[in-house]
Amino acid sequence: MSSNNDASKPAEAGEANAVQQTNGDGPVEPKGDEVANGHADTIFQITVKLPHAPYEHAITISTSEQVQDLRQAIIETPQLFQYSCFHLEIDGQRINDYVELSEVPGLKADAVLTLVEDPYTEKEARMHVIRVRELIGAAGDRTDALHGIMAGMSLHDTVGQEASGKGDESTEQTPLSTYDFKAGGSVKTLQAPAQEPAPKTIKSISVSPWNPPPYHLRSKGHLLYLLLTTNENEQHHITATVSGFYVNKSSNAKFDPSPRQAPKAHSAHSLLTLLEELSPSFSQAFQSYLEHTQKRDPLTFFQLSNAIPANPWLVPAANSPHTTHQPDLARTQESYLISGVENTETLRDWNEEFQSTREMPKEAVQDRVFRERLTSKLFADYNDAATRGAMLVARGEIAPLNPTEARDAQIFVYNNIFYSFGADGVGTFGTEGGDEAARVAVGKDVFGVRAVNNLDIPNLFTSGTVVVDYLGKRIVGQSIVPGIFKQRDPGEHQIDYGAVEGKEIVADDKSFIPLFEQMSKALRVKKHPVWDKDNVRHELEGSVETKGLIGTDGRRYALDLYRLTPVDVSWIEEHWSEPSEDGKEKEEGKDYPHRMATLRPELVESFGRLKLREYVKKELEKKGEAKKEKEEENKKTDGESDEVAKEEAEAADQDRVDISGFSYALNPDVFCGQHPQTEEDKAEWAKDEAEVRAACNHLLFEVMPRLIQELKDGDVGFPMDGQSLSLLLHKRGINIRYLGELAELSDKEDPRLQALRRLVIQEMIARGFKHFANSKLRNVSAPFAAPCVAHLLNCLLGGEVNAKPVAESDADLKALYPENDFSFEKLTPEDVKKEITAQVALRYRFELDEAWIEPGKKLQMLREVALKLGLQLENKEYAFTKETAASETSTAAPATNGTSTSSKKKKGKTASPARAASPAPQKTVQTFHADDILNIVPIVKEASPKSLLAEEALEAGRMSVAQDQKELGQELLLESLTLHEQIYGVLHPEVARVYHTLSNLLFNLDDKAAALELAHKAVIVSERTLGVDHTDTVLAYLNLALFEHATGNGNTALVYVRHALELWKIVYGVDHPDSITTLNNAAVMLQTLKNFPESKVWFEASLSICEEVSGKTSINTATLLFQTAQSLALVKDMSGAVKRMRESFHIFKDVLGADDRNTKEAEQWLEQLTTSAVTQAKQNQALASGRLRRLQLGNRGALRPQAAVGQTTNETTTANRPRSGTNRVDQRSIEELMKYIEGESPKKTPKKRTPTANPKRRGGKASS
């Protein structure tokens, strides 16, 4: 429970007072053991008395929760579903719904609360109808403009179903038996198998055509009229009044909302109870509906309320059973049901909500929880609303406020959110790169706003900011800062701090100084002077671009936060030239599209750490010198003071370096056209410039080469796709514009670096295509988006199938849009390749030359492009080569007109009902058709802050575990989990991350059941919020497999391993460098299941990748050879075993020397195996009976999920126990092996092996 460690609100008020009086300074944070006891005091059971059967219900509560939480618990209990409009009483006194349970007088263990039904209001009645519709499964599929097809889907349950199906089979056939190591990824992996439809509880329920009640009846308490059709096909008209619901006498033709006479009179306070009375089959159907939904994990179908769900890039065809479109009258009425006739309930003053939430108290823990929970929900609601509005703006559905201006300069207001285009409509960025600069600036602004939100500086406010990329346009949505549009009096500036109208005027309102000072200190921004057009000097705390505005509400707002770090001067000097007056072309090589190339905040931090190390080193040297001087002096004095000096010296030795004198901050305005006037300023400015140059050099000569080296050595989890590559670079402070540089740096013989180079080139091509595709999409209207995208994809990926693809635009519609740019139709694959090559050269300074999309990597490229542009394509095998196209056209011939309902792999078109089929009777053979693009979803950048409280608790738990305080650590970790769930809601990417981290930590603390449960949750939440094939989801599945294996569910574990490997093929392709570990783990799992022949195959697969990636003579290869030799011995292939063991022995000997334990161990095994091979013929009988030699399975084959990442090779391969006499040691291992093969694991700690990073901790390592 979240606030047990907040002693100001414990169960016993008396105790709290005692604590507070003794200290006199407010509430006290109790220590760990007090917290533990606090738990017991604050959780107890109470009874709730009910007005209807079962008349009472026991419920467990915690005093740290709100009354609202208790209400929610009541509403969600199956026996109490009927209650939604009620209040609670204790001893006849009404309980306020908005207080904490600890503040309710008389609430203690075994207390009796009474549930009293309240009269409905019109709003309550509407909410009750919505709730009942959802509860009984009558709500149907929502039409949602924001969320795409199958948004937030999860495959977890269906992967699990296959597992349970295969559990009873013989050990011969495992889930991995049919796995093909070299086959490409199959898109079927991303398709959920069709589920049986949920049982129907009623035919339909909707708002009646007689709604709303006329005035004379409204005054009598009529609220709504409903129309119900039961499964028995009976139609009932229902009146909702203040006292509940009853069946009335109306029909479709006649209006009479008075109650029916007996025996047909039915009424109830809850609509649910009324349904049970009206439909004989309802109770049974409702029960089976509940059972149907309970088969699935609730996490897989709950609606996401605090995060935008992940949109899959491959979705079922329009006519598949997953996406059936059902008739439901109430679907169109939902907005009325949710927000009433006036629709005013949904209009929110976003800015006021943001700022008043920020002003909430944050002293007590409970206050912080409440404040952060509200913040998280508010940001989620705002992001949701802002994205919906941005989509309407992009589609041209909203009238601009300034319709006479050029399109890029138009601004819009919708739902109290202010929208503008991320383009340079009014020439603000003329000298910086125009539209390109504006596009980058708004993106950086979002990250700046997030950085400031995370700092949470009191009295400094930001506006809610969201950037949406949709249909090729970038749209910025901001909450409206009061006073931002107000024309000020002559002589007054529009802005109160920072640059006004370009940089010609600089304002410096003193009230901003303390606020900006805190912000700049945290973000390492140096206080510095700037000069206006009259060369007047102004001292500013932040960049001149960062503006401060005093709103008409009196609050201080920070705006334009895109320049919080200095520009990347080395890049700009090399690749950018100022635009010339006469508009001449820029010279070759100096034509980077904009001047907004800044350093990343992560780099500023990492350079700061370097400076700190240098400072500490200098201080220590100074201390050393001072110490020497003291010693010199002491030699001259007598012996007694010699002792004193020694003590002093020792004290000085232990003394830590005082870093309070260390200061480090960078000036963000150097190299940005400022002209210092005095000599003093010039000298200081030169120093600032040198510092920024040093930071740029740190990036070029330290950070990037180090990353390349670490990836080469396998010290860092290897990226799988564009997203994970970008994340890795950003964590190191490397900008995406350096992809070209990374491709050059990784162009070495090393196989890992070659893999990295291929990935980097793939990412550059995908990004180049994204920029080009956006430039075309921007100028076509929504009906042509799909034909445009399909044609561009054909040019990018389908050139082999059809070198002259045809764009499938509807000729009749084209005449309606004379202003559209249809130039995309003329593009050929050569044109697109040329455009992308130009984009890559322009943006990443890399010549693609021969490098292009790798053969066999077209599916990966399609995925990258679809994720970057927000495409949702039909899930089917796309033909990228002539052969597949030919085979698929022949099999799919009958289905060309879209009448087939088969959702199997086919090339035939299924005509989308949304658009008339193209008049051409036969479609051109090409990879993509316009109808394959089922939807385009927005890509959103938002600024919601992280919860500091939840992070602190997680960190405290980690620290305690690291310091071996396991119980306290475990408790803090679970506390942090509760906080994460409370603040973010369960379905949130941050919560997925914490589930993943905690499952690992709890597993290491031997709480396997809890670890397994969290690992399952991590998979589901990851799938729903990040994506079913996101790299984190792959890692979550691998994690889950290890835990399932550790808890004895071997086959289930293998199913998850298989699924993860299939996903891996889609995300990366075959043979990912880090998959060695996974293949090896799978081999060990198979060995545990005594499936020796199959485990041999997996060891060999792992070995072959390892030889490719680490080289044939590396320690990793030797370790795997050792294991492979043992697996061969287990399948009685003695000569093969001897050969592998000999190779292993030679590598160990060459690399580690003859005296190394590993070498000796390999030598002993080699001798034994050789002997067995020689005597194999004589001993056929003995081997057949399974005695003696078969038992020689070494102690390397153990699966240790917690093998630490980054151990040196020596640590990982040295034996864990001393070896003395050969025979005795071998004897011992044979006994253990006997047990192992019989199914008991040996008790000794097996050797930890990490050929690459361990899959469980891979994410953690990369992020460290």
Cis ω on the peptide bond leading into residue 989 (within 30° of 0)? no
Contacts of 572 (CB under 8 A, 6+ apart): 592, 595, 597, 671
Q: Which residues pair with 539 in a beta bridge?
A: 529
Q: What three-state secondary structure class fits 1251?
A: coil
3-state secondary structure of 735: coil
The 3-class secondary structure across 960-977, one letter per residue, is: HHHCCCHHHHHHHHHHHH
- DSSP three-state, residue 616: helix
| Phi (first) and psi of residue 1258, to 5 degrees | -60, -45
| Radius of gyration from C-alpha coordinates of the chain | 34
Token pair recorded at residue 400: 């601009």
Question: Which residues, in sequence order, are CB contacts of 687 under 8 Å at separation 6+?
Answer: none
**CA-based nearest residue to 887, from 866, 913, 905:** 905
Smallest Cα–Cα separation from 1064: which of 148, 163, 162, 183?
A: 183
Cα separation, 369 vs 957, in Å, equals 18
DSSP 866-896: HHHHTEEEE-S----SHHHHHHHHHHTGGGT
Q: Is 520 left (phi over 0), alpha (psi -120 to 50) or beta?
A: alpha
Q: CA–CA separation, 624 vs 616, rounded Å?
A: 12
pLDDT at 125: 95
CA–CA separation, 525 vs 181, rounded Å?
Answer: 52
What element of type H or E holds 936?
A: strand 933-936
Peptide bond into 54 cis (omega under 30): yes
Cβ–Cβ under 8 Å, residues 42 and 64: yes
Q: What is the dihedral of CA 322, 327, 333, 338, to 10 degrees?
A: -30
Strand ranges (E), 537-609:
537-540, 547-550, 556-559
Ramachandran region of residue 348, left (φ > 0), alpha (ψ -120 to 50) or beta?
A: beta
The sign of the torsion formed by the CA atoms of 705, 706, 710, 716 equals: negative
C-alpha–C-alpha distance, residues 684 and 702, integer Å:
26
Residue type, 601: P
Interior CA angle at 1094 toward 1091 and 1098, to 5°?
A: 125
Distance CA 760, CA 745 (A): 11
Q: With contact defined as beta carbons under 8 Å apart, do 567 and 671 qualify? A: yes
Q: Which long-range contacts (CB under 8 A, 24 or more apart) does 1226-1231 make?
A: 1226/1164, 1226/1168, 1229/1192, 1229/1194, 1229/1195, 1230/1191, 1230/1192
Q: Which two tokens stand for residue 1116?
A: 């990793």
- Residue 1197 confidence (pLDDT): 44
Sign of the dihedral defined by the CA atoms of residues 223, 225, 231, 232, in that order: positive
**CA-CA distance, 273 to 279, in Å (whole number)?**
10
Q: What residue type is assigned to position 1192 of the chain?
A: Q
Amino acid found at 43: I
Predicted confidence (pLDDT) per residue in 34-65, tens digit:
333 333 347 889 999 999 988 899 999 888 88
Residue 942's Cβ-count burial label (10 Å; 0-12, 13-18, 19+) is buried
Would you tell me how many other CB atoms lie within 10 Å of the CB of residue 396?
A: 11
Inter-residue contact 456 to 448 (CB < 8 Å):
no
pTM of structure = 0.84
**What distances in angstroms separate CA 1159 from CA 52, 313, 522, 1119, 1229, one per listed residue?**
78, 50, 53, 11, 17
| Helix, strand, coil percentages in the chain from 3-state DSSP, rounded to 5 | 50, 10, 40
Q: For residue 1196, give the nearest of 1259, 1256, 1262, 1129 by alpha carbon.
A: 1129
The DSSP 8-state label assigned to residue 195 in this structure reads P
Q: Which fold does the domain 13-118 belong to in CATH?
A: Ubiquitin-like (UB roll) (3.10.20)
Specify the 3-state DSSP secondary structure of 247.
strand
Ramachandran assignment for 216, one of left (phi > 0), alpha (psi -120 to 50 degrees), beta (any other): alpha
Secondary structure of residue 241 in the 3-state scheme:
strand
Cα angle 1233, 1237, 1238; round to 5: 115
Q: Which residue has the tokens 């196209």?
A: 885
Distance CA 1040, CA 1020 (A): 11
3-state secondary structure of 478: strand
Helix, strand or coil, per DSSP, at residue 474: strand
Q: Which amino acid is located at 771 in the chain?
A: H
pLDDT in tens, 1137-1182: 999 999 999 999 999 888 888 899 999 999 988 888 887 655 554 4
Tokens of 1124: 């492979």
Both ends of the chain: CA-CA distance in Å? 30
Residues in the chain predicted with pLDDT less than 50, given as ranges, are: 1-41, 163, 165-171, 892-921, 1181-1183, 1185-1198, 1200-1264
| CA count, 13 A, side-chain hemisphere, 463 | 28
3-state secondary structure of 1041: helix
CB under 8 Å to 1021, separation ≥6 — which residues?
299, 986, 987, 988, 989, 991, 992, 995
d(CA 315, CA 871): 10
Residue spans in the chain of domains classed CATH 3.10.20.90: 13-118
Give the pLDDT of residue 1232: 45
Query: What is the torsional sign of CA 165, 168, 172, 176?
Result: positive
Residue type for position 505: I
**Which residue do the tokens 């070495």 mark?**
748
Structural tokens at position 693: 């140059």
